[in-house]
Chains A and B, each alone.
Chain A
Amino acid sequence: MGEEEPEIEGRRIAAEARDRVRFEEEALALADQVYRVARRLVGTREEAEDLVQDTYGRAFRSWRSYTPGTNLRAWLLRILTNLNLDRGRKVQRTPDLLPIEEGDYYLANKMAESQGEQVLDQDRVVEKLSQDSIVTALSSLPHDFRDTVVLVDIGEFSYADAAQILDIPIGTVMSRLHRGRRLLKQQLAEETIA
């Protein structure tokens, strides 16, 4: 037994403590961004708060499994989406009967039809849509589509990050995103223009 061993051990513990503090600080700095995504994945503010708290509880316990230098926000969101599934979110199959799917331009075309093509040249024409209608339309999407749309369009994750977070192939991300956005625009068109 060398006399230096306790000292080496002491230094190792101190280094680990520093890594841990750094991890916790970096994670906390992302809390607002994590919450924004969480808020649109669940129905209420309270659920979103609980989900974020559970996520941070788990993240702080399992911080050693995070690889420094990788995308921490994606790592946190992966915990969060898994917890959200575990919490008994009803595994909802995509309904067999989705509305007939319209194209990507559906909402723009509806606006152009009702107000003339030149309406699209106006600045901020999208602001004709109310905030409520957007929140409602998002929350009405089938879960699988909503998770993907929220991660990419609200969380600004890449397709690859979203695929990793949700543990699905990138092609599935693309098709869910594609269909989810179309459904979203359809819903917005019905709510706002009908």
Chain B
Amino acid sequence: MSHGPCDACEELLQGYLDRELTDSEVGQAESHLDACDYCRRRYRFEDDLRTYVRTTAAERMPSGLMDKLTQLRSADA
């Protein structure tokens, strides 16, 4: 299944999600998203996926570690 005209947008969307596009590229991405359901769904999916990966892969620091790090300080002495 080819979505030829959306290939360029597919690439642009990653930078858009990373907020690393130039102003004119942002304009390009946004006007495409306004017009294209196919890409808008996938944009939302990608956006949710990033948040989900970040939160599910996050593991809090084990409880004892902070004490160990504090002991490494030299300024306390």
Contacts and interface: CB of A to CB of B under 8 A. Distances in A.
User: What DSSP secondary structure best describes chain B's contact surface?
Assistant: helix
Q: Summarize A's interface: helix, strand, loop or mixed.
A: helix
A178 B14 contact: yes
B18 A152 contact: yes
Contact of B13 (A36, A61, A104, A152): A104
B58 A36 contact: yes
Interface residues of B, number: 35
Contacts of A190: none
A135 B42 contact: no
Interface of B: 1, 7, 10-11, 13-14, 18, 20, 41-42, 44-46, 48-50, 52-54, 56-62, 65-66, 68-70, 72-75
* 4 A-B pairs with the lowest CB-CB distances in the bound complex, closest first: A35-B61, A120-B41, A108-B45, A131-B56
Interface of A: 17, 20-21, 24, 28, 31-32, 35-36, 39-40, 45, 49, 52-53, 56-57, 60-61, 103-105, 107-109, 111, 117, 120-121, 124-127, 129, 131, 134-135, 138, 152-154, 156, 158-159, 177-178, 181, 184-185
